[in-house]
Structure 1
Amino acid sequence: MRPASWRRAGGAVLRVLVVWAVSTLTMLALAGALPDFRLQSEHGDTATRIGITAALGAGAFGLLSALVWPLLVRALLLVPALVLGLLVFFLNGSLLWIALALLPEGRGEADPRTAVVVAAVMSAASSAASTFLAVRDDEAYRRRLARLADRRRPRADGAGVTDAPGTVFLQLDGLGHDVLRDAIAPGEDGEPLMPTIAAMCRETHRLTVWHTDWSSQTGASQLGILHGSNEDVPAFRWYEKETGEVVVSNRPSSAAELQRRAADRAGHPGLLADDGASRGNLFSGGAAQVALVLSVSARRGRHNRSRAGYFAYFSDPANATRTAVSFTAEVVREIVQSTRARLRGEWPRVSRGGLYPFIRAFATVVQRDVVVAAVLGDILNGRTAVYADLVAYDEVAHHSGPRGRDTHQVLRRLDRSVALIAKVAERAPRPYRLVLLSDHGQSPGETFAARYGLTLEDLVRAGCGLPVSRRARRSASGAEARTAARAALHRPEDGHGAEPHHPARTSEPVVLGSGNLGLVSFPDLPGRASRQEIDRRHPALLATLANHPGIGFLLVRDERHGAVVLGPDGAEHRLESGEVLGKDPLAPYGPRAADTVRRTAGFPHAADIMVNSALDPVTGAVHAFEEQIGSHGGLGGEQSRAFLLHPRLLSPPEADGEPVGAERIHRVLRRWLEEARAVPEEPARPPVRARPR
Structure 2
Amino acid sequence: MRIPRWKSLSGALFRVLAVWLVSSVTLLVLAALLPDFRLQSANGDSLTRTALTAALGAGVFGLLGAVVWPLLVRALLLVPALVLGLLVFFLNGSLLLLALDLIPEGRGQAAPQTAVIVAAVMSAASSATSAFLAVRNDEAYHRRLVRLAGRRHGRAARRPATPGTVFLQLDGLGHDLLCRATAGERPLMPTAARWRGGSHRLTPWRTDWSSQTGASQLALLHGSNEDVPAFRWYEKETGTLVVSNRPSSAAALQRRAIARTGDGGLLAYDGASRGNLFSGGADQVALVMSVAARRGRYNRSRAGYFAYFSDPANATRTAVSFVAEVVREIVQSLRTRFRRELPRVKRGGLYPVIRAFATVVERDVVVAAVIGDMLAGRTAVYADLVAYDEVAHHSGPAHRDALQVLRSLDRALALIARAAGHAPRPYRIVLLSDHGQSHGPTFLERYGLSLQNLVRAGCGLPVPRRAGRSPSGAEAREAARAALHRPEEADGPGPGEAAGPGLGERPEPGPAHPVVLASGNLGLVSFPDVPGRITREELDRRHPALLATLANHPGIGFVLVRSAAHGPVVLGPAGAEHRLATGHVIGADPLAPFGAGAADAVRRTDRFPHTADLMINSACDPATGEVHAFEEQIGSHGGLGGAQSHPFLLWPAELSPPVPDGTPLTGAEQVHQVLRRWLAEADGPQLPLASAVDDLRREAPAPEDSSPPGRPPRDKDR
Letter of the 2:398 counterpart: R
Q: For residues 344 and 430 of structure 1, do their structure 2 counterparts lie closer, same or farther at Cα, with a shift above 3 Å needed?
A: same
| Secondary structure at 2:441 match in 1 | coil
Partner Cα separation in structure 1 for residue 219 and residue 161 of structure 2: 30
Partner Cα separation in structure 2 for residue 14 and residue 150 of structure 1: 23
- Alpha-carbon RMSD across the aligned residues, in angstroms, is 1.5
Q: For residues 47 and 152 of structure 1, do their structure 2 counterparts lie closer, same or farther at Cα, with a shift above 3 Å needed?
A: closer
TM-score relative to the length of structure 2: 0.88
Aligned to 1:675: 681
Cα displacement (A) at 1:336: 0.7
Partner Cα separation in structure 2 for residue 151 and residue 648 of structure 1: 30
Q: For residues 376 and 302 of structure 1, do their structure 2 counterparts lie closer, same or farther at Cα, with a shift above 3 Å needed?
A: farther
Aligned to 1:99: 99
Cα displacement (A) at 1:78: 3.0
Partner Cα separation in structure 1 for residue 287 and residue 169 of structure 2: 14
Aligned to 1:486: none
Contact 1:170 1:389 in 2 (8 A): yes
The aligned runs of 1:192-203 (5 Å cut-off) are 192-203=187-198
Aligned to 1:226: 221
Letter of the 1:471 counterpart: R
Letter of the 2:408 counterpart: R
Aligned to 2:560: 555
- Give the number of aligned pairs: 643
* Misfit runs of 4+, over 4 Å: none
Q: Deviations over 1:209-231 (max 9, x none)?
A: 00000000000000000000000
Task: Give the stretch that moved more between structures: 29-38 or 145-154.
Answer: 145-154
Cα displacement (A) at 1:619: 1.2
Contact 1:289 1:304 in 2 (8 A): no
Partner Cα separation in structure 2 for residue 350 and residue 600 of structure 1: 30
Aligned to 1:135: 135
| Secondary structure at 1:470 match in 2 | coil
Contact 1:379 1:428 in 2 (8 A): yes
Cα displacement (A) at 1:79: 2.9
Match of 2:406 among 401, 404, 411: 411
Aligned to 1:164: 162
Cα displacement (A) at 1:153: 4.8
Aligned to 1:77: 77
2:319 aligned with 1:324, yes or no? yes
Cα displacement (A) at 1:466: 1.4
Cα displacement (A) at 1:591: 1.1
Aligned to 2:691: none
Letter of the 1:673 counterpart: L
Cα displacement (A) at 1:100: 1.1
Partner Cα separation in structure 2 for residue 60 and residue 472 of structure 1: 60
Match of 1:537 among 526, 539, 542: 542
Cα displacement (A) at 1:98: 1.4
Aligned to 1:184: 182
* Consecutive unaligned residues in structure 2, runs of 5 or more: 469-508, 686-718
Partner Cα separation in structure 2 for residue 559 and residue 344 of structure 1: 53
2:258 aligned with 1:263, yes or no? yes
Letter of the 1:280 counterpart: G
Partner Cα separation in structure 1 for residue 3 and residue 141 of structure 2: 20
Partner Cα separation in structure 2 for residue 336 and residue 590 of structure 1: 39
Aligned to 1:583: 588
Q: Deviations over 1:357-405 (max 9, x none)?
A: 1111110111000000000001111110000000000000001100011
Identity %: 74
| Secondary structure at 1:605 match in 2 | coil
Contact 1:197 1:415 in 2 (8 A): yes
The aligned runs of 1:60-459 (5 Å cut-off) are 60-149=60-149, 151=151, 153-157=153-157, 159=158, 161-186=159-184, 190-301=185-296, 304-459=299-454
Q: Deviations over 1:337-367 (max 9, x none)?
A: 1100100000000001111111111101110
Q: For residues 253 and 148 of structure 1, do their structure 2 counterparts lie closer, same or farther at Cα, with a shift above 3 Å needed?
A: farther
Aligned to 1:653: 658
Partner Cα separation in structure 1 for residue 175 and residue 101 of structure 2: 57
Cα displacement (A) at 1:50: 0.8
Partner Cα separation in structure 2 for residue 653 and residue 294 of structure 1: 29
Partner Cα separation in structure 1 for residue 549 and residue 79 of structure 2: 47
Partner Cα separation in structure 2 for residue 65 and residue 152 of structure 1: 17
2:39 aligned with 1:39, yes or no? yes
Partner Cα separation in structure 1 for residue 621 and residue 108 of structure 2: 67
Contact 1:84 1:324 in 2 (8 A): no
* Consecutive unaligned residues in structure 1, runs of 5 or more: 474-503, 680-693
Partner Cα separation in structure 2 for residue 95 and residue 468 of structure 1: 59
Partner Cα separation in structure 2 for residue 3 and residue 231 of structure 1: 53
Cα displacement (A) at 1:284: 0.3
Q: For residues 650 and 595 of structure 1, do their structure 2 counterparts lie closer, same or farther at Cα, with a shift above 3 Å needed?
A: same
Radius of gyration: which is bigger? 1
Letter of the 2:653 counterpart: R
Contact 2:150 2:308 in 1 (8 A): no
TM-score relative to the length of structure 1: 0.91
